[in-house]
Structure 1
Amino acid sequence: MRAVQFETTGGPEVLRVVEVDTPEPKPGQVRIRHEAIGINFIDTYHRTGLYPVKLPCTPGGEAAGVVEAVGEGVTRHEVGDRVAYSGGFGAYAEANVVAADRVVKIPDGIETRVAAAVLLKGMTTEAFIRRTYPVKAGETVLVHAAVGGVGQIMTQWLKALGAEVIATVGSEAKAAKARELGADHVILYRDQDVAAEVRRITGGKGVPVAYDSVGKDTFEGTLASLARRGLFVSFGNASGPAAPFAPGRLAQAGSLYLTRPTLFDYIVTTEELDASAAAVFDVIRSGKVKIEIGQTFALADARKAHEALESRATVGASLLIP
């Protein structure tokens, strides 16, 4: 089968298509023939070496398709099931073997491509807005990169919860998209002082929680946007990792909290995984959250996909199609 690998870390140019043996499922595993592969920023962190990986590496931790083989002892899935998974490596390929208890069935009413586009981003959103900080109706929330893959889902889901959303984006075109998604206020973070705008919108109070996937470029503005005892949810490095800072600054700014969560600490058990995935699929089927697949790339064009993602030229979710 074909797979995308990198043997050294670096820019998108290190990605190359290779022929490898189709893997056989071991006990407790299933083999999934991919129909769509999710592209996520974490894939670029692995490729650059920001998050160290064993080399050579087939990146990608999100895909959807059909079970074509099951290993010994598997009862959770059968050949022919439509399924999706999020986590691990090896998704940038025509097929992958995955532990059966980390794979979820795709329910009726959810397209396979949508499942590949939403599972990681949707469960991340679910964990962060329902469990990292349980957002309540009437609260004002700051969301950076509001028209990115996670941002689009988060903006819509927060509105479904009854929150008031302050969205930041990088262009007028993206501002218009954020408003379509339901954002109540939109800040152009390259041209405006984010913290000053947040204080103006909130009457000087700031927000109780801010979700920041951008990293270095937005860190200071996010910190200055929080209300007393506010929570800074830092979950990405799209502009590079934020610089180290003295913990005492949290006290000086109003006894703030800072967390750097990862989805996989919220879906540790199969029960947690199933509950999170079900919540994602349910909110999509309700129509309250719509998934935009903004870009698709052939598997052989993984390099182009990473170039587009890192230039922040993408809108919504991006997929590789084997």
Structure 2
Amino acid sequence: MAPIPKTMSGILIEETGGVEVLKWKTDLPVPQLQEGQVLVRNDTTLHEGDRVAYVADHAYAEYTAVPATSAAPIPAGVSTATAAAALLQGLTALTFVREAAGLPQPPGPREGPWALVHAAAGGTGGMLVQMLGVMGARVIGTAGGPGKCEIARANGARWVVDSKLGVEAVVQRVKEITGGHGVDVIFDGVGRATFDSDLEMAARKATVAVFGNASGAADPVDILRLGAKNIKLMRPVLFGYIATKAERDAYTKELFDLILAGKVKVKIHEEYPLTDVARAHSDLEGRKTTGKLLLKV
């Protein structure tokens, strides 16, 4: 391996603002390692056996210092691009399905629980649809418009409801699909616009997991509203499920095994050069993307 340089290229944000504050720099210092960290070169050219993936919030550069326990080896058969695209949202979906929804394994010959995923054409939503399907759930997806509804179906949703029809129409359609039973588990990354309808669509003893705020944070809820159906209301966060090395290792291995087996597919929208990071952010904010965006050094 080539000697580690003293400086590197990367993106620096020195002030708040829009995409114009994402500045490309070529003289950033390479991170100095602290005890228990490893230095990761953010490239796709590492040799077999040296490849690792990690989840962090500071990877817009050639090198990143991360805790050694957070760097997960990428198995043979999984490309570096696929691993980078899958890790954050894949682990989010897998831990939510396992721990929040409580679906440890497929139910066998019987039909699994009814599950609803909002924004089923999106990155996390699409992963949730796939994971729930692997675990045997009967998955309903919502998505905005015919194009995104088709993506939700391609992700594996057995029933898809166009959210652009309006909240009342979505509630009515879900009740029809479930034969009046309602939904046993709901994954909501939308927030304010969908939360009240979640409680209406939820079945008795349902779990409602609100994990995102795409439309704004859901309004504070009177806990007495949950009592009529004994609803469990959750706000799950990935890092609470992978807090220990054993948890991270186990879930990462299971995720890569699902990918290798072809049970979970990872869609990459585009690989953007790191120097073109502003366009990547603009495309993402403008809702022009389907699948994962990657930044390539």
TM-score by length of 2: 0.88
- Aligned mate of 1:243, from 219, 223, 240: 219
Structure 1 pair 10–279 and aligned structure 2 pair: CA distance change class (3 A): same
Quote how far apart the aligned CAs of 1:80 are.
Answer: 6.4
Quote how far apart the aligned CAs of 1:31 are.
Answer: 0.8
SS at 1:308's partner residue? helix
Aligned to 1:31: 39
- Aligned mate of 1:116, from 84, 95, 99: 84
Aligned to 1:71: none
- Aligned mate of 2:23, from 5, 16, 21: 16
Quote how far apart the aligned CAs of 1:10 are.
Answer: 4.0
Distance across 2 between alignment mates of 1:206 and 1:8: 47
Contact 1:35 1:113 in 2 (8 A): no
Unaligned runs of 5+ in 1: 37-64, 68-78
Quote how far apart the aligned CAs of 1:96 are.
Answer: 0.4
SS at 1:267's partner residue? coil
Distance across 1 between alignment mates of 2:20 and 2:190: 23
Distance across 2 between alignment mates of 1:167 and 1:305: 26
User: Deviation digits for residues 122-156 of structure 1, max 9, x if unmatched?
Assistant: 11111100111223542110011112111222212
SS at 1:210's partner residue? strand
- Aligned mate of 1:270, from 238, 245, 251: 245
Aligned to 2:131: 157
Quote how far apart the aligned CAs of 1:167 are.
Answer: 0.5
Aligned to 1:48: none
SS at 2:164's partner residue? coil
SS at 2:29's partner residue? coil
Aligned to 1:82: 51
Aligned to 1:300: 275
Aligned length: 281
Aligned to 2:202: 226
SS at 1:110's partner residue? coil
Quote how far apart the aligned CAs of 1:11 are.
Answer: 3.5
Distance across 1 between alignment mates of 2:283 and 2:116: 25
SS at 1:151's partner residue? helix
SS at 2:72's partner residue? strand
Matched, 1:127 2:101: no
Distance across 1 between alignment mates of 2:199 and 2:19: 32
Distance across 2 between alignment mates of 1:11 and 1:209: 37
Quote how far apart the aligned CAs of 1:274 are.
Answer: 0.4
SS at 1:315's partner residue? coil
TM-score by length of 1: 0.82
SS at 2:157's partner residue? coil
Quote how far apart the aligned CAs of 1:16 are.
Answer: 2.3
Question: Matches of residues 141-290 of structure 1 in structure 2 within 5 Å?
Answer: 141-192=115-166, 193-252=169-228, 254-290=229-265
Aligned to 1:53: none
Amino acid of the structure 1 residue aligned with 2:210: S
Aligned to 1:41: none
Quote how far apart the aligned CAs of 1:29 are.
Answer: 1.2
Quote how far apart the aligned CAs of 1:23 are.
Answer: 1.4
Task: Answer with 1 or 2: which has the greater Rg.
Answer: 2
Quote how far apart the aligned CAs of 1:219 are.
Answer: 1.9
Quote how far apart the aligned CAs of 1:24 are.
Answer: 2.8
Contact 1:293 1:319 in 2 (8 A): yes
Distance across 2 between alignment mates of 1:174 and 1:31: 39
Distance across 1 between alignment mates of 2:286 and 2:28: 30
SS at 2:65's partner residue? strand
Aligned to 1:47: none
Distance across 1 between alignment mates of 2:215 and 2:280: 17
Query: What is the aligned-residue RMSD (CA, Å)?
Result: 1.9
Aligned to 2:290: 315
Contact 1:295 1:315 in 2 (8 A): no
SS at 2:94's partner residue? helix
Quote how far apart the aligned CAs of 1:300 are.
Answer: 2.1
Deviates more, 1:135-144 or 1:268-277: 135-144
Distance across 2 between alignment mates of 1:9 and 1:195: 40
